[in-house]
Amino acid sequence: MHKPADRIRNVALIGHRGSGKTSLHEALLFEAGATNRLGTVLDGTTVSDSEPDEQSRKMSISLALSSFEWDGRKINLIDTPGEPSFVADALGAMRVCESAVFVVNGVMGAEVTTRRLWARAEELDLARMIFVNMLDRERADFFRTLESLKDAFGAHVVATEIPIGSEHDISGVVDLVDMKAYSYDGDSRENCTEIAIPDDMQELAEQYRELMMDEISEVSDSLMERYLEGEEIAHDEIVEVLKDGTNHGSLFPVTCGVATGNLAVNRLLDAIVEDLPSPVKHGSLKLPEITLEADESKPLYAYVFKTRADPFAGRINLFRVYQGVMRHDSHVMNTTSHNKERVGQLLVFSGKDSGHADEFGPGDIGAVAKLKETRAGDWLAERDEPISMPQIQLPAPVMAFAMEAQGDEDKVFTSLRRLQEEDPTIDLHRDLETGDQIIAGLSQMHVEVIVDRLKERFGAEVTLKPPRVPYMETIRKPAKAHGRHKKQSGGRGQFGDCHIAIEPREPGAGFEFVNQIKGGVIPTSFIPAVEKGVVEAMAHGPIAGCPVKDVSVTVFDGSFHTVDSSEMAFKLAGSIAMKEAMTNASPALLEPIMLVTLSIPEESVGDVIGDLNSRRGRPQGMDSVGGGLTEVKAEVPMSEMLTYAPDLRSLTGGQGDYTMEFERYEEVPAHLQQKIVAEATAEEAVSA
């Protein structure tokens, strides 16, 4: 039997790198009785950082699902990585959950990844709660963190509890709904005792309860009136309105505690089942082709959101059932590959182990092993009918390395392709000019993790060459051009003729092709050929031969010949026109700018910033984060950061650490353009 949909909670743990998601996941499992000991990230003994590289790097790399029962509900809890290189998994998890618990470091407040992912959660319409973690740390401050959360996410962020004590002396929490206090002793499952609100906290608690009531009354007109008139509001009504506001994204309750100390984690568990929506409550999924309801009597539709490549167990696919029931020993259709798949064993992950399940009902999340042609992004359904999920926008893999396979090349490439199924932000391709095999990811670390996994899991090895900067080109003003391809040398001639107008688009808007041909001056069947020619010309910009982006191209006139016109001729005409148009459109060379986040000892801040300045870096702010460390953020062109790791090491006596991610493209300063053009031309000469 499966769990009824209204008894399910699908929850993603989201937040900045190192905010304590994995530790909280561990504590929630322990508290719910799904495990019997509290593993730690430091010892590499948590349930969700189960991969060897996650344990050695002390960070999450892939999402991890755990399913367990609490208070008669089934909670599917997904731990996600905070490191931006692995954001695909955080977004994948958010896509299939109704709600997210944002885990925030009580020293650092609302950090950059937390803010970014909050915006994505908003787009996906997720119910959200916040857990302010690490309150036992030096310089942690719940109230300052709360302010930073309100600054970042607005007034509807509302504390429903406040901590008792701070830093090393944190001992419990006051519940502002019930006005009850709880004290914690040790980290065992029975560590929580109800106590009287400490005298010296009475006033603070009253004050924060009032702030909470102000916000809660905002979302209910009937409650607002009585609240303003000074009427006592019944406890149940507060709870109901809080739940409703959270479900509809008009309230974001903030709770707090210490994940590694299992402090107040039991209360978060209660809040998850009580305040966060079930799949039924959250409503149906409206897709362009069909609306899916959490109804078990309707045909099955399940969405695969994660594929894991295991060298021994084969492929494991994680899916979310949106409608109907997924049964073991059954057959389903993959609506993308149009294959019939046999569903053998269904898997459920709970704590350290996985077990078998007979079926997963609507709203539930589960796993299946050994499907042949199914991977993340596919739908499994009863019938092979077209169905799509709105695409999640993923960052582009800009950090590209040429690589060389060591030993068995076939093994390297099949293994790489399997890792690519796990992570859609990896790009593998061959550089057509140099013939190099390229592997690209979101950061150097991202690519290194893939190369390590290749070796660890599949025993396949590659060496990386130094990365190359993916320069691009664009245009700054509109231009028109005429392209004509005509050949009449015996036999059948060739004739293609088109007029195009091009204009710049917003940065990041991409390529657009508009057909404004009237009266059939170019037959419709040849228009795609013109576009093809245009696209081919855009592969090599007029300045340095780099790909061209963010351009709108309109074909508005032309002519044809009934006998001599062909696709090839129109393609050439399109290409000729585009080359000329780009030259006249004030072309510009663009370089990728990276957002670099450094964590360095306070005493080396001056040296590091001086060095960043010499790399054309622009500091964006810094924060001291405790432990004698300062976090510095800066925007720096990628070309200046290719071999940064050893330099940072020597600037900081080995103490510094950094991550970087792609931010945007910017024009290369004029005085540097020449050098880049010269290098690009030299490279072309070598490979030619």
Ligand X SMILES: Nc1nc2c(ncn2[C@@H]2O[C@H](COP(=O)(O)OP(=O)(O)OP(=O)(O)O)[C@@H](O)[C@H]2O)c(=O)[nH]1
Residue ranges that bind ligand X, judged by CB under 6 A:
15, 17-23, 40-42, 59-60, 81-83, 133-134, 136-137, 258-260
- In whole angstroms, what is the distance from residue 534 CA to residue 517 CA? 16
- When the beta carbons of 40 and 330 are compared against Mg ion, the nearer one is 40
Smallest distance, Mg ion to C-beta of residue 367, A? 20
Smallest distance, ligand X to C-beta of residue 626, A? 10
Residue partners of 670: CB distance under 8 A and separation at least 6: none
- In whole angstroms, what is the distance from residue 102 CA to residue 506 CA? 32
Which of ligand X, Mg ion, none does 436 bind, CB closer than 5 to 8 A by kind? none
Residue of 653, 544, 678, 676 whose CA lies nearest to 602: 653
- When the beta carbons of 386 and 628 are compared against ligand X, the nearer one is 628
Q: Are 104 and 75 in contact (CB under 8 A)?
A: no
Length of the chain in terms of residues written = 688
Query: Which one of 16-24, 113-121, 194-202, 636-644 is the stretch in contact with Mg ion (CB under 5 A)?
Result: 16-24
- In whole angstroms, what is the distance from residue 494 CA to residue 277 CA? 64
Single-letter residue type at 45: T
Smallest distance, ligand X to C-beta of residue 92, A? 15
Number of residues that bind Mg ion (CB under 5 A): 3
Q: Are 277 and 245 in contact (CB under 8 A)?
A: no
What element of type H or E holds 583? helix 567-583
Residue partners of 30: CB distance under 8 A and separation at least 6: 36, 37, 38, 189, 262, 265
- When the beta carbons of 31 and 136 are compared against ligand X, the nearer one is 136
What element of type H or E holds 527? helix 527-538
Does residue number 60 form part of the binding site for Mg ion (CB under 5 A)? Answer: yes
Instruction: Give the one residue of 10, 19, 22, 474 binding Mg ion; rule: CB under 5 A.
Output: 22
Which of ligand X, Mg ion, none does 191 bind, CB closer than 5 to 8 A by kind? none
- When the beta carbons of 425 and 604 are compared against Mg ion, the nearer one is 425
Smallest distance, Mg ion to C-beta of residue 246, A? 24
- When the beta carbons of 41 and 300 are compared against Mg ion, the nearer one is 41
Hey, what are 643's tokens?
């071999």
Q: Are 90 and 60 in contact (CB under 8 A)?
A: no
Smallest distance, ligand X to C-beta of residue 427, A? 23
Smallest distance, ligand X to C-beta of residue 47, A? 11
Which of Mg ion, ligand X, none does 260 bind, CB closer than 5 to 8 A by kind? ligand X
Residue of 263, 236, 26 whose CA lies nearest to 136: 263
Residue of 157, 165, 253 whose CA lies nearest to 204: 165
Smallest distance, ligand X to C-beta of residue 178, A? 24
Question: What residues numbered 340-369 form the site for Mg ion, per CB under 5 A?
Answer: none
Which of Mg ion, ligand X, none does 51 bind, CB closer than 5 to 8 A by kind? none
Q: Calculate ∠ Cα 104-657-641, nearest 5°.
A: 115
CA distances from 394 to 94, 95, 426 (A): 13, 12, 11
Which of Mg ion, ligand X, none does 19 bind, CB closer than 5 to 8 A by kind? ligand X
Query: Which one of 53-61, 221-229, 237-245, 306-314 is the stretch in contact with Mg ion (CB under 5 A)?
Result: 53-61
- In whole angstroms, what is the distance from residue 505 CA to residue 413 CA? 37
Smallest distance, Mg ion to C-beta of residue 40, A? 12
Question: What residues numbered 455-494 form the site for Mg ion, per CB under 5 A?
Answer: none
Residue 483's DSSP bridge partners are 498
Residue of 670, 620, 611 whose CA lies nearest to 641: 611
- In whole angstroms, what is the distance from residue 324 CA to residue 326 CA? 7
- When the beta carbons of 28 and 238 are compared against ligand X, the nearer one is 28
Which of Mg ion, ligand X, none does 259 bind, CB closer than 5 to 8 A by kind? ligand X
- In whole angstroms, what is the distance from residue 22 CA to residue 18 CA? 9
- When the beta carbons of 112 and 535 are compared against ligand X, the nearer one is 112
Smallest distance, Mg ion to C-beta of residue 97, A? 16
- In whole angstroms, what is the distance from residue 663 CA to residue 112 CA? 12
Hey, what are 636's tokens?
């720096």
Query: Which one of 58-66, 299-307, 369-377, 412-420 is the stretch in contact with Mg ion (CB under 5 A)?
Result: 58-66
Residue closest to ligand X when measured from CB atoms: 82
Smallest distance, Mg ion to C-beta of residue 11, A? 15
Which of ligand X, Mg ion, none does 141 bind, CB closer than 5 to 8 A by kind? none
Smallest distance, ligand X to C-beta of residue 53, A? 12
- When the beta carbons of 25 and 281 are compared against Mg ion, the nearer one is 25
Which of ligand X, Mg ion, none does 656 bind, CB closer than 5 to 8 A by kind? none
Compute the CA torsion angle 417, 418, 423, 429 (nearest 10 deg): 0
- When the beta carbons of 91 and 479 are compared against Mg ion, the nearer one is 91
Only one residue has tokens 């925030």, namely: 104
Smallest distance, ligand X to C-beta of residue 38, A? 11
- When the beta carbons of 47 and 608 are compared against ligand X, the nearer one is 47
Which of ligand X, Mg ion, none does 20 bind, CB closer than 5 to 8 A by kind? ligand X
The binding site for Mg ion (CB under 5 A) comprises 21-22, 60
